[in-house]
Structures are given as C-alpha cells and as structure tokens.
Amino acid sequence: MENEFDLIVIGGGPGGYVCAIRAAQLGLKTACVESRGTLGGTCLNVGCIPSKSLLNLSENYAKAKNDFNLQGIEISDLKLNVKKMMSNKDKSVQILTKGVEFLFKKNKVTYLKGKGEFKNKNEIQVSNEKEKKTYKSKNIVIATGSMHTNIPGVNIDEKNIISSTGALSLEKVPKSMIVIGGGYIGLEMGSVWSRLGSKVTVLEYLDHITPGMDREISNEFKKILSKQGIEFKLNSKVLSVKKSGTNVNVNYEDILSKAKKEIISEKVLISVGRKPFTSGLHLDKAGVKTDLKGRVEVNTKLQTNVKNIFAIGDVIKGPMLAHKAEEEGIAVAEILAGQAGHVNYDVIPGVIYTSPEVAAVGKTEEELKKENINYKIGKFPFLANSRAKVNNETEGFVKILANSETDKVLGVHIIGPHSGDMIAEMAIAMEFGASSEDIARTCHAHPTHTEAIKEAALAVDKRPIHF
Ligand code: NAI
C-alpha cells in the first residue's frame, strides 16, 4: 500500500504544504507532490520571502544613506554590495525551504518529487528525470498556485524585460527601471531598486495605484512613494515593450489625452497581475471544472465539482495571498478529517511591505458606499504618535471604519511604520466582532505605534486624546 494515500496534495507552496502538514497531524496518510526541487512554492522561493529580504536590506541601505547622518550616526564610506545582498537573500530562502522539508519529515508527510498530473479522479502520476510513478489517493487537493500574466506580444527574457522572478536576482543596480503595473509586486520591487539607486518609473493603466485598496490610503501611498523618488505615470496604456540594444523601449498611450509616448530604460518589470496555474495537470482526466478566468471552481467547502477533489490558494478565486492559501489548506485538511474547517473571507489582512508599510483588513470606504452601509470614520496620524515621532517615522495614519448604528468595526486601513504587524490586532478584533469602543477601551502599551490604533478608535467617537 506504499503508493496509496488518504490525501495527495499537488503543489508544495504555502497552501499545499500547510494543508499536507495539518492533514498528517489529523492522522491522514498524506503525500505532497512538488516539481520545483524545493518546497515552499512561489512564496518561499521567488516571491514573498526573497522580496522581503531585499526590501529589508534595501531599506537599511537607504536609511544609512539618507537618514543616519541627520540622526547623528555618521558614515563616511558607505558601499553597496549587490552580490552579498543577493547571497544573503538566497541563504534565507534555502534555510526556510529546507525547514519545510524538515517539517514534512517530522509530521510524516511523504514528499513526492516531480510533476504531478491527473490520470483520473483518484490517481496522480508523478514524473521526474528518473521515473514516472502513479499514486492512488482517496482525496486530492489542487494547490498549484499562480504564474505572472504578461502583456500580449511582450517577450519576458528575465534579463532586460523581467517578471518579479528576474527582479529578485539582478546582478547590479540598473540605471533605470520602468515598472508596468502599480500593484503589490510593482511597488515592492520598484521600491527595492529605487532605494538602491535606480530611477524607477511606474506606468499604471488606471487613474490610481493599488486597485482595491481604500482610495484615501492609496492616494497617500502614492504621495509618499513619489517623495521617495518613484515617478508615476497614471492613465497609461502600454502598447509595446521592445528590446533595443542594451535598453528597452516602452510605447504607451496617455488614456486621457490620447497622445502616444515613448520611454526608454535599462530594465522593464512586468507586474500586471497573476493567473491561476493548472497547465499540464490534465484536470479534464479527473473531470474538474474551471471558470472563464481559468480558476478551479470550488464550493464553500473548497470542494470542486468532483467530490473527492478540493482546491485552495491562488488557483481558486479570492486574493492571491499566501496566508489566505494557508487558511484554506488547514480548512480542507480539517474538513477531510471530519471537522468543521472554515475560512472567514471577511477578515483576510493584506500588507504591502514598502516603507512605510500599508496594511488593511475588512472593507474599504468605497466598498461600504457600494453596499449602502452607513459608517463612521476614526483617523489618527503617526505624526501625533510619540514612538513614531522619536523614531523619525511620522508618515501615514490609521483609519478605522465602524458601523454607524452598531459601532462594529468593518474595516481598518493603516499606512505607517510596522503596520504589517499591527494589522494582526485588528484582524483579531474583527474576528471577535469588536466595536470601535472595545478597541478604544483596551489598554495599549506606551510608547508604541499601536497607540495610534487606540487613538483612531477614540476618534471614531470624536474623542482622541493626542490629536
Ligand atoms: P496586482 O493585481 O496587485 O497589480 C497589477 C496592476 O497592474 C494593477 O494596478 C493593474 O491596473 C495594472 N495593469 C494591468 N495591466 C496593465 C497594463 N497593460 N498597463 C499598465 N498597467 C496595467 O498584481 P501584481 O502586483 O502583479 O501582484 C500579483 C499578485 O501577487 C497580487 O494578487 C498580489 O496580491 C500578490 N502579491 C502580494 C504581495 C503581498 O502580499 N505583499 C506581494 C506581491 C504580490
């Protein structure tokens, strides 16, 4: 029975590996198929983790270059070593991917190395350079993630015209970089290379950056990034991206004036979104349906149209976020073990790890208006927060949206220092159905950035103390 399992998970990213570990913890005989050679998926290998390493290192460099002298820390011979930076990043990635392999061993998850594909609804063939083997399983979870989308006709060579993967391993700082798409990836990677010295220009199709984000926060975010030296060209429709010698020419149309324009730069980063990845899986052999966007269709139990096959993470609908995939992975494992697995999609935090960070959970003002929900707003600027002030990190604010009648917190949006960590407090508050008064009456340690949250909650009732 060596080749038979209770559960085979296809894909070893944060959705898949977490699902496999939880299922094994619950006593299911579990295997996870992964073809990359290392576990952790896009997130650990070429996404969240390496980008956070470069964001941290480049932020340190920018601080040392721009701020330290003003703060009495004088550095006279500051040097940037991109090669060392990259190897530091690679080491962190290696340690973390090996860590997942260790967790598989610890939890007795069988790691099947190779590319998985459906033979039928209960059989998965795994192929690698050495062999092709077929495994049987009562249940199967599709956790194959997503891949970058492209602009029609553009050839991403990962040298001059790059995706996020290429942007994570440039050998030197390019003189200039055009970022196409002002979303999560474009702004995080644009920030990295801008801080290291590249002239970064973001071309965005819409009239604002970061679609889906609370508009007031998005506007403030653009202002702050512009001050840091990133140039934005909004309402810009890219027509072509072509390599020319060592540079790349980008032709675009200004949507408002209809004028055709051209800009040239050393590198062009294409960051116009991601799409579900199911190629080569042979979903048809199992009879699994996808929707018009190529996403695997699931019900509220994350079950596909084929009863014993489930899907989680970027390959299904919803935000393409590692932590959303993890929650879904745990929910499926618990459902399969007879428990009540569940994901609360109303409380999925989102963070952009720029400086300052931008973090949100729950509804935006625009969503509340659209849904005709009456709300109150409480805002508090970091300028009036003592800890932010002493740390010279005063940009941004906290914004809490609460129901006008019940005072229940409906959404929290923060642009400011450490907001990516602080948003967890708000996610918990929302999971417990907190009112803004609950937050306002909770003692927050002084002096911390979290006091800005308490003050914003007080501001919902128009009674902040420090502003
Ligand atoms: P995105 O959907 O966040 O942003 C893409 C942007 O490109 C949008 O603003 C869109 O209007 C613009 N765009 C699309 N086509 C265009 C064109 N032809 N010309 C100009 N602009 C165009 O996608 P992104 O940044 O590629 O990220 C992909 C996924 O990865 C997202 O779902 C994101 O949530 C996830 N991600 C999350 C991170 C985090 O949690 N910190 C970090 C990086 C990625």
Residues 207 and 125 in one domain: no
Quickly state the pLDDT bin for 2 (edges 50, 70, 90). confident
Q: Which of 272, 292, 307 is the last residue of a domain?
A: 272
pLDDT at 162: 98
Taking CA atoms only, the protein residue closest to ligand 1 atom 26 is 273
Instruction: Say how many Å lie between the CA of residue 92 and the centre of ligand 1.
Output: 25
Determine, yes or no, domain membership for 402: yes
pLDDT at 429: 98
User: How many folded domains does the chain comprise?
Assistant: 3
Taking CA atoms only, the protein residue closest to ligand 1 atom 28 is 273
Residues 132 and 176 in one domain: no
Residues 280 and 260 in one domain: no
Instruction: Say how many Å lie between the CA of residue 210 and the centre of ligand 1.
Output: 7
Instruction: Say how many Å lie between the CA of residue 412 and the centre of ligand 1.
Output: 21
Domain coverage including residue 99: 4-148+275-343
Instruction: State which ligand 1 atom lies nearest to the alpha carbon of 149.
Output: 26
Tell me, what CATH number does 131's domain have?
3.50.50.60
pLDDT higher than threshold 90 for residue 56: yes
Determine, yes or no, domain membership for 372: yes
Residues 142 and 59 in one domain: yes
Residues 268 and 292 in one domain: no
Q: Is the CB of 185 under 6 A from ligand 1?
A: yes
Q: What is the pTM of this model?
A: 0.97
Q: Is the CB of 352 under 6 A from ligand 1?
A: yes
Determine, yes or no, domain membership for 248: yes
Instruction: Say how many Å lie between the CA of residue 319 and the centre of ligand 1.
Output: 11
CB 143 within 8 A of CB 43: no
Residues 280 and 136 in one domain: yes
Pocket test for ligand 1, best of 48, 154, 205 (most atoms within 8 A of CB): 205
State percent of the chain over pLDDT 70: 100
Tell me, what CATH number does 438's domain have?
3.30.390.30
Active site residue 282: no
Span 165-178, mean pLDDT? 98
Q: How far apart are CA 114 and CA 10, in angstroms?
A: 10
Residue 252 backbone dihedrals phi, psi, to 5 degrees: -145, 165
Instruction: Say how many Å lie between the CA of residue 148 and the centre of ligand 1.
Output: 9
Determine, yes or no, domain membership for 467: no
Residues 178 and 242 in one domain: yes
Q: Which of 272, 298, 330 is the last residue of a domain?
A: 272
Q: Three-state secondary structure along the chain?
A: CCCEEEEEEECCCHHHHHHHHHHHHCCCCEEEEECCCCCCHHHHHHCHHHHHHHHHHHHHHHHHHHCHHHHCCCCCCCCCCHHHHHHHHHHHHHHHHHHHHHHHHHHCCEEEECEEEEEECCEEEEECCCCEEEEEEEEEEECCCEEECCCCCCCCCCCCEECHHHHCCCCCCCCEEEEECCCHHHHHHHHHHHHCCCEEEEECCCCCCCCCCCHHHHHHHHHHHHHCCCEEECCEEEEEEEEECCEEEEEEEECCCCCEEEEEECEEEECCCEEECCCCCCHHHHCCCECCCCCECCCCCCECCCCCEEECHHHCCCCCCHHHHHHHHHHHHHHHCCCCCCCCCCCCCEEECCCCEEEEEECCHHHHHHCCCCEEEEEEEHHHCHHHHHCCCCCCEEEEEEECCCCEEEEEEEEECCHHHHHHHHHHHHHCCCEHHHHHCCCCCCCCCCHHHHHHHHHHCCCCCCC
Residues 379 and 314 in one domain: no
Taking CA atoms only, the protein residue closest to ligand 1 atom 3 is 183
Quickly state the pLDDT bin for 1 (edges 50, 70, 90). confident
Q: Is the CB of 50 under 6 A from ligand 1?
A: no
State percent of the chain over pLDDT 90: 100
Residues 61 and 96 in one domain: yes
Q: Is the CB of 415 under 6 A from ligand 1?
A: no
